[in-house]
Amino acid sequence: MSAAYPMVELWRGGLLESTHAGHAVIWGPDGIETAWGDPSTVIFPRSSCKMIQALPLVETGAADAVGLTPAHLAFACASHQGEARHVRMAGDWLSTIGLAEPDLRCGAHEPYDRDERNRLIKTDESPCQLHNNCSGKHCGFLTVTRHLGAGPEYVEIDHPLQRAIRQATEEVTGETAAGYGIDGCSAPNFAVTVAGLARAMQAFAAAREDGDARSRAMHRLTHAMATHPELVAGEGRACTELMRAMGHTVAKTGAEAVFVAILPKQKRGIALKIVDGGTRGSEAAITALLVRAGVLDPAHPAAQKRLGGVQRNWRGLETGTIRVAPGFPR
């Protein structure tokens, strides 16, 4: 077993202050092309696998049965900010399928979006489940549940929806799930290896509009995310800004410093996990890998914001820099 590979460094005053190490895999048409650390490391993909969790939404026919658009499919894969448009979309979606906010099982939390948070404070309103960053995924879950005529507790591990998600996860990663944990939104999250997650992303990258049912579903979800990056995360977020900078490439984060990318033009998939769980490290590492792959201009503001940029304090004074560690990415 290989140790985690140093990927990102923070320098202050000419001295190395912090290092973010992790595991990463680039999976191409013929398998693993490059890896850092240990590809067999088992991780929880967290929200980076939402496009896998959305496969039953398309494959069961539930999406087409209620006329979901590419915007809806992108939102089903989202870890959104709780912006007004996100909250509105979740509410409208539920209304379309004859359900409402109490039918969600994701829980309520304060929106990450400052404008919406301030609006709630000024109007003395409490956040609801529509503000949950996973409400789009759960709208998709409820759509499948209604289509299958299954019970309302769709986040239970033995629910038909979760059995379908586990099956899809194991098929696209090519491995048996190592177990599961409960995610922040209450849904099961199936443990896979970093290599398995990269393999799944490569399958999405290679999916064709004229392929078999699985391939068509993957293509629809990938295209939807690339077309609507503002729904996948939100203003100021890495996923949205990186996708806008790249065009056809999809980037998706997950809690505890997981990040994946789908590169359709190259038919490659990328997965990485920073072992300390720090978002700063995962955003910088995925940026470096996207630059290495030639799909992201290193001079683009979205890239500079996360890698190579000067760190400043609240007075605007330069305090340090974030840079890739020596040898990464080779």
| CA–CA separation, 208 and 35 (whole Å) | 26
Q: What is the pLDDT of residue 1?
A: 52
Residue 309 or 84, more confident: 84
Crossing angle of helices 114-122 and 84-96, in 10° steps, is 80
Q: Is residue 41 part of a domain?
A: yes
Secondary structure of 13-58 as H, E, C letters: CCEEEEEEEEEEEEEECCEEEEEECCCCCEECCHHHHHHHHCHHHH
Tokens 């894969």 -> residue: 77
| CA–CA separation, 57 and 64 (whole Å) | 9
Q: What is the pLDDT of residue 309?
A: 76
Q: Is residue 172 part of a domain?
A: yes
318-324 and 310-312 strand pairing: antiparallel
Average pLDDT over residues 21-50: 98
How many CA atoms does the CB half-sphere of 256 hold within 13 Å?
11
Average pLDDT over residues 233-243: 98
42-43 and 258-263 strand pairing: unpaired
Give pTM, 2 decimals: 0.97
**pLDDT tens string 210-235:** 999 999 999 999 999 999 999 999 99
CATH code (residue 58): 3.40.710
Domain range for 96 is: 5-324
Q: What is the pLDDT of residue 38?
A: 98
**pLDDT tens string 157-211:** 999 999 999 999 999 999 999 999 999 999 999 999 999 999 999 999 999 999 9
Q: Is residue 329 part of a domain?
A: no
Average pLDDT over residues 86-110: 98
**pLDDT tens string 185-195:** 999 999 999 99
| CA–CA separation, 146 and 134 (whole Å) | 18
Number of domains in the chain: 1
Q: Is residue 44 part of a domain?
A: yes
Average pLDDT over residues 121-150: 98
pLDDT at 132 over 90: yes
φ and ψ of 72, to 5 deg: -65, -45
Q: Is residue 70 part of a domain?
A: yes
Average pLDDT over residues 40-46: 98
**N-to-C CA span, the chain:** 20
Q: What is the pLDDT of residue 194?
A: 98
**pLDDT tens string 257-287:** 999 999 999 999 999 999 999 999 999 999 9
Q: Is residue 330 part of a domain?
A: no
pLDDT confidence bin for 2, thresholds 50/70/90 = confident
pLDDT at 246 over 80: yes
Q: Whats the size of the chain, residue-wise?
A: 330
